[in-house]
């Protein structure tokens, strides 16, 4: 499907530190806000940084046109971005990629699993489903409770939230994948985005229990539209571009 996208230079509305090295920034673009689907991303162009950075869309307000992104300082690009102020200009190409299919059979529960900056994609999905009067369970895994950047927002939209922290500072002590394996029911549809080891474990659990679902892969990208082929992955024996063919893939295709 040919997805409409825009390449804009927009003013930053807000760029806020959420704790530790996590930040959320927002811009206003009614075009992007109306076109965006949960699971899609944008390529962010930062001054003095050569390549754009892919960031999953965190939240959208279609009335005001506000579009938000979550990121973590991990290198030069995100470090420069964290210092940008309200009113400064930033280049945004998007929305890109495909979104999460919302095909939840009657009597089944959506189960959302996220960790790291992958929680951005999961947050937008939870927000989108809640607007359709659909809620379920969110499994939110972090190293320590200070990384729980949007816990209240999930709860405020009616989702049941199961928290795991590796250091035991809040909720279940251990990995979110172990918590999920203990509690997941067969009548579920799983949606997952986060660190690769976490996603692999969730995929294994889903296949073991014969549960369908979707995974949003994270790969380094240079162009975001499939031209550079730098984000190639093997899916069902074929080379696929995470940016163009994904980032969302069905679990049973992996």
Q: Half-sphere exposure of residue 126, counting CA atoms within 13 Å on the CB side?
A: 30
- Residue 104 per-residue DSSP state: -
Say what the pLDDT of residue 9 is.
Answer: 92
With H, G, I as helix, E, B as strand and everything else as coil, classify residue 210: coil
Query: Rounded CA gap, 250 and 246, in Å?
Result: 10
Q: Half-sphere exposure of residue 230, counting CA atoms within 13 Å on the CB side?
A: 10
User: What averages of pLDDT result for each successive group of 10 residues across the chain (254 residues)?
Assistant: 71 94 96 96 87 93 97 92 95 94 93 96 97 96 95 94 96 96 95 95 96 91 80 84 91 90
Q: Half-sphere exposure of residue 70, counting CA atoms within 13 Å on the CB side?
A: 23
Distance of CA 210 to the CA centre of its chain: 24
Say what the pLDDT of residue 3 is.
Answer: 53
Copy the structure tokens of residue 125.
């999905």
> Torsions phi, psi of 115, nearest 5?
-160, 160
Say what the pLDDT of residue 14 is.
Answer: 97
Say what the pLDDT of residue 226 is.
Answer: 78
Q: Render the burial of 115-142: b for 16+ CB within 10 Å, e for the rest.
A: bbbbbbbbbbbbbbbeeeeebbbbbbbb
Q: Half-sphere exposure of residue 27, counting CA atoms within 13 Å on the CB side?
A: 22
Q: Which residues pair with 43 in a beta bridge?
A: 54, 93
């Amino acid at each position: 499907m040919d997805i409409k996208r825009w390449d804009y230079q927009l003013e930053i509305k807000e760029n806020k530190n959420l704790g530790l090295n996590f930040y959320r920034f927002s811009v206003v673009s009614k075009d992007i806000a109306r076109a965006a689907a949960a699971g899609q991303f944008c390529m962010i162009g930062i001054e003095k940084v050569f390549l754009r950075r892919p960031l999953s869309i965190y939240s959208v307000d279609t009335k005001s046109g506000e579009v938000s992104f979550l990121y973590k300082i991990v290198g030069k690009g995100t470090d420069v971005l964290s210092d940008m102020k309200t009113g400064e200009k930033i280049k945004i190409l998007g929305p890109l990629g495909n979104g999460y299919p919302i095909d939840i059979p009657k009597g089944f529960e959506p189960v959302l699993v996220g960790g790291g900056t992958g929680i951005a994609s999961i947050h937008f999905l939870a927000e989108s489903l809640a607007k359709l009067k659909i809620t379920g369970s969110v499994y939110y895994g972090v190293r320590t409770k200070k990384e729980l950047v949007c816990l209240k927002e999930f709860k405020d939209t009616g989702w049941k939230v199961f928290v795991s922290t590796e250091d035991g500072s809040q909720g279940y002590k251990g990995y979110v994948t172990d918590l999920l394996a203990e509690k997941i029911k067969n009548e579920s549809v799983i949606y997952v985005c986060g660190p690769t080891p976490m996603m692999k474990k969730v995929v294994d659990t889903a296949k073991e229990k014969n549960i369908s679902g979707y995974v949003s892969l994270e790969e380094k990208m240079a162009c975001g539209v499939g031209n550079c082929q730098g984000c190639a992955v093997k899916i069902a024996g074929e080379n696929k571009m995470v940016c163009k063919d994904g980032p969302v893939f069905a679990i049973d295709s992996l």
